[in-house]
Structure 1
């Protein structure tokens, strides 16, 4: 039995909530009387409520995010029906703004906005002493980072073995991109480096081999970046047959020579950079307060692809205020020409509290009123066209980003990547009416049909190319367009268990 329960609904089991672990680590005298119980979106609300109430808690702290707010609202409503005396405290980015407009906030007893590391602990102490603060909304106190107890000891052995471990060397962001909640930060604050490296050492000694840094600006302070890279290079040098996989978010136009000299030493499958381009249009960038030197950013992506073995995941956003299809297409084609391993084609969302909403009237931004608050239309892109872009995004993910069609992709895209893939996307949706549940064998046959209809290459070349991709990524069924003996390309084996399968396919292509 735990009087204090910390809970959330994660997008997937593999995602272990870093926020809950910060809260528990900082509970002070109440830490040992608390427990973390995580769930996954899609689980039955009644089953989640049953498991939480079985602990007979007095207080439940619930992390609320854009991906779980609807299910979390149902959960809070059920808990309040079943146990009206239970005190429910909400926290997280989804409930840190526009509190008065949210049904989930009305259902709960307290809402902590912003940072909750020390404010939740203070509230729990008051509640356990029988005190009930009069106000429902509590503004979280931003404690100095050295005063915050690190959360990494709260990762269990199961977490270390089976889940992504999230870590952060800093919080905040100095940039003001209006589509991001980090635009509200005044700057970035570093954790004490020696303490953080000691935490990494302990996690590594416990068997952790996948590390995802949630820092918004990993390469902002080069000396800190170098020290962290040196930590992982040291592990790789000492145990080359026991590699790690490390994910960082990278500022695209800030890659000094000292960082380049370090990055080139990382072997295959150990380093991933998530790089936010978002738009190549300088007018659109200025409109949303994004500072970016496009030519330098493009040159850095080219250099990373050419000179390193890092996996490159680059982000673009469709639906930014004032950007039309032609502008987005030009940026997309430019990015395809830089040849990153993945292009994350995102659709603009109106995060609660983000300054992007100031453009709503002038640029006709019409957002979905329900989570995830995706853009439905703008003055520059009408609703039917935006729907085409949404489908483009989904199909791009399962064809290009999956790494399963590295040979076929060049036939499909030709010298006009956006236009050619949009034509395929429109064709595929007209043909299937589906954006999900497309089995690999069916998708291979559909690609073959489209490529032949569009005369992207001679049919023999199309068939051979698709077969090479299909066999090379483990496909074993006999395909309808196979004729006679076929040179069956054996699937390449992953060299490292630390490297996720999707990234491994890109790096082996």
Structure 2
């Protein structure tokens, strides 16, 4: 009796930590179990074919917000051609009701953590035991006794995929839009075992570690120990942590300053800087601490910082969101990810629907369609704003040119106008080449913002020359004088000598 554990990852470079936890805890069924991973870009009939080629009796599928619709179609295909195959679903998208996608074709659904629940169910199925309940209710795992999954990353995974790891589960905060707020108690894994597993991964060649903990820096003993693990390494590596913005004790700060350039990425969920809006969603907001810590990270460390803001929170209008964005760009030059509010089953965000006129899509990813403060058109424009913000601001390809969009140090209003204008020109937010992006920006700054061509050209040439292999386009050539080329060439040689010296 073969058992297949599978999911549809959002990209090939992603890997499923959840499947490996289940595999690590399959006990005597391990020899009959196999992990098979696919991506949402794969043809679903081909996915079904590959799975069924293994002649499975049981198929376990991880369901997430990004693959829910595809999983529905996949299980329907499998059930049509192999109706006797038992299909078990698990993951965040089926852990809370109401189910927004019809998964009635599945035989069983495991809610909550599946580390040991899947094994217990599979054991009953393989032994022929009659199972009364189709939906298996959540259990809270004892993380100290759960077998760790890291040895089940293959050499191919280590070479080509992100290695996801975790040191704890749960979140002490009650943010109403977030599934993590449901598990209020923070539970940690055995730290000694964890470090041992990380060392094995390191010896096997793993150099990219992405931690999925929601509040990595809340537990000081855990955070310090893990940071020490990486600081003890001499080779290049990359470690990603999700941290809370108002809790950086001195011991953590001191360690962060010691990470080399390019080694550390910190994702910080800001979401809003408006106290009234933060209170609406039960999110603590310590503005002074947030500003202090962002300034520290910006000026005293080489960490790559990734800040998050959300559009569409209950009661927040575009003016308030714009102030948030302006404030963050003034605090830091780091990447700012703009997300659209989603209504996830299990969260308490629904309590605001009537008061604030919150209307959401019923299909994944269940994003907000309109609110009392934001019209459907506003939300559509902000989705495009977020996409163009990634292209122009977060990409780092136009750092000098973006400064020309600022007015009195603020950028929201002018970038909003720029975003609307780009969409008028392209009717698209995707498949815009880098050269076309630059041409559009040059046209907008010179024709719509009335910036001097020489000033815009200088900024854009500096941006273009920072990207290896990019040539100065024809429309900028008149501004790219021989004298300027010689100055830049000397500067480039000087920088290279300095780099070699360092």
Please report the TM-score for the alignment, with normalisation by the length of structure 1: 0.93
Which of the residues 169, 185, 188 maps onto 2:183? 185
Relative contact order (alpha carbons < 8 A, sep ≥ 6): 1 or 2 greater? 1
Partner Cα separation in structure 1 for residue 404 and residue 380 of structure 2: 25
Residue 28 (structure 2) aligns with = 29
Matched, 1:48 2:42: no
Residue 445 (structure 2) aligns with = 451
Partner Cα separation in structure 1 for residue 40 and residue 407 of structure 2: 39
**Residues 386-401 of structure 1: pairs in structure 2 closer than 5 A:** 386-401=379-394
Residue 74 (structure 1) aligns with = 73
What CA deviation, in whole Å up to 9, does each residue of 1:112-144 have, x standing for no partner?
Answer: 001111110001111111123121100132221
Partner Cα separation in structure 1 for residue 236 and residue 100 of structure 2: 48
Which of the residues 210, 221, 240 maps onto 1:212? 210
Which of the residues 161, 164, 171 maps onto 2:162? 164
Partner Cα separation in structure 1 for residue 450 and residue 463 of structure 2: 17
Residue 337 (structure 1) aligns with = 330
Partner Cα separation in structure 2 for residue 277 and residue 480 of structure 1: 41
Q: What displacement does 1:387 show?
A: 1.0
What CA deviation, in whole Å up to 9, does each residue of 1:421-471 have, x standing for no partner?
Answer: 001001101111111110001111000000101335310121121122123
Q: What displacement does 1:477 show?
A: 4.4
Q: What displacement does 1:294 show?
A: 1.3
Partner Cα separation in structure 1 for residue 99 and residue 170 of structure 2: 25
> Does the C-alpha gap of structure 1 residues 456 and 116 become closer, same or farther in structure 2, counting only changes over 3 Å?
farther
What CA deviation, in whole Å up to 9, does each residue of 1:189-219 have, x standing for no partner?
Answer: 1111111111111110110000001000100
Residue 229 (structure 2) aligns with = 231
Partner Cα separation in structure 1 for residue 108 and residue 360 of structure 2: 28
Partner of 2:49, secondary structure, is helix
Partner Cα separation in structure 1 for residue 16 and residue 477 of structure 2: 50
Residue 60 (structure 2) aligns with = 61
Partner Cα separation in structure 1 for residue 434 and residue 8 of structure 2: 29
Give the unaligned 5+ runs of structure 1.
493-509
> Does the C-alpha gap of structure 1 residues 182 and 100 become closer, same or farther in structure 2, counting only changes over 3 Å?
closer
RMSD across aligned C-alpha pairs, in angstroms? 1.5
Give the unaligned 5+ runs of structure 2.
493-502
Residue 3 (structure 2) aligns with = 4
Residue 196 (structure 1) aligns with = 194
Q: What displacement does 1:358 show?
A: 1.1
Partner of 1:344, secondary structure, is strand
Residue 500 (structure 1) aligns with = none
Matched, 1:150 2:144: no
What CA deviation, in whole Å up to 9, does each residue of 1:208-261 have, x standing for no partner?
Answer: 0000010001000112111111110001xxx2xx21100001110111111111
Partner of 2:232, secondary structure, is helix
Contact in 2 for aligned 1:392/1:425 (Cα 8 Å) = yes
Residue 495 (structure 1) aligns with = none
Residue 423 (structure 1) aligns with = 417
Q: What displacement does 1:474 show?
A: 2.7
Contact in 1 for aligned 2:68/2:101 (Cα 8 Å) = no
Partner Cα separation in structure 1 for residue 472 and residue 333 of structure 2: 32
Please report the TM-score for the alignment, with normalisation by the length of structure 2: 0.94
* Consecutive aligned runs of 4 or more in structure 1 exceeding 4 Å deviation: 484-492
Residue 468 (structure 2) aligns with = 474
Partner Cα separation in structure 2 for residue 297 and residue 178 of structure 1: 20
Q: What displacement does 1:101 show?
A: 5.2
**Residues 114-129 of structure 1: pairs in structure 2 closer than 5 A:** 114-129=112-127
Partner Cα separation in structure 2 for residue 195 and residue 252 of structure 1: 28
Contact in 2 for aligned 1:314/1:340 (Cα 8 Å) = no
